Structures are given as C-alpha cells and as structure tokens.
Amino acid sequence: MPAYMQQTYRRGAHVWDTSRRRVGEVTGHEGTGLQLRLVGGALQWQADPDALRLAFPDEVHRALKQQRTGAPADDRRRRGCPECRRLRDQFADAIRSGDRAGAERVMAARGLHDFAAHWGPK
C-alpha cells in the first residue's frame, strides 16, 4: 500500500467501506489490504483500500447509534421507501429478461437514490 494511503488510513481512522456499505475503524494493515473493525462492534473484515474513503462524522455517529440500539435505522427507512421498492422491482425485471445494460442502469439509479435519499447530507 502506498505511503499516502497508510497515512490516510492509519490505525484508529474511521472509514466508509463502499463495497460493504458500513463504517469501520482501521485496526491494521495487511499486505495490500486493510484490517477493519465495525465501529462500536466486534465484527472484523479485510478491505481493499480502493473501496474506502474516510467516513464523515455523521456516518460514524449513525454507526455508533445503530450499534447501541441494535436497529439499522436506515434499513428500516428503506423498507418503507416506495422508490427503493420500485427500483428493486425494476432491477429484478431487467435481470429476469436478461437485459444486462438495463440492469446496470437501474443499479446506478439505485445507488444515486440511496445516497440522496438515505445517506446524503440532510
């Protein structure tokens, strides 16, 4: 891992893992990967530094709160979200009909909606 990454993702730093969609704390470096632990939790995993960015303070706050209450507040909100449901159905339809390009478009739309509606700055 390049030196600037070791500086950015130093031990104790809070990072957002874009591939697993959760906040972790850097506990160590291993080869080209990073060792993370769930913020406020025990779960540990290996992460690819290319899938990471530093976490925003409110993301860390939310993760800690989730751990305390044991309830993923954002997942709960997503379940009741009509746009999430619509995009999920659209994605399933595209997959069923073998429309790969369409599925990728829906996936991108889902990511944007998810960020804007459920994660973005309020």
- Smallest separation, CB 77 to Zn ion (Å): 7
DSSP code, position 55 = P
- 23 burial (CB, 10 Å; 0-12 / 13-18 / 19+) is buried
- 90 burial (CB, 10 Å; 0-12 / 13-18 / 19+) is middle
Rounded Cα distance, 119 and 16, in Å: 12
- Smallest separation, CB 85 to Zn ion (Å): 8
Segment interacting with Zn ion (CB under 5 A) among 22-30, 37-45, 66-74, 114-122 = 114-122
Segment interacting with Zn ion (CB under 5 A) among 32-40, 68-76, 89-97, 109-117 = 109-117
Rounded Cα distance, 91 and 109, in Å: 10
Is there binding between residue 1 and Zn ion (CB under 5 A)? no
Interface residue with Zn ion among 5, 64, 81, 107 (CB under 5 A) is 81
Rounded Cα distance, 3 and 22, in Å: 24
For Zn ion, give the closer residue by CB, 17 or 114: 114
Segment interacting with Zn ion (CB under 5 A) among 25-33, 58-66, 82-90, 94-102 = 82-90
Interface residue with Zn ion among 72, 83, 110, 119 (CB under 5 A) is 83
Interface residue with Zn ion among 5, 13, 84, 107 (CB under 5 A) is 84
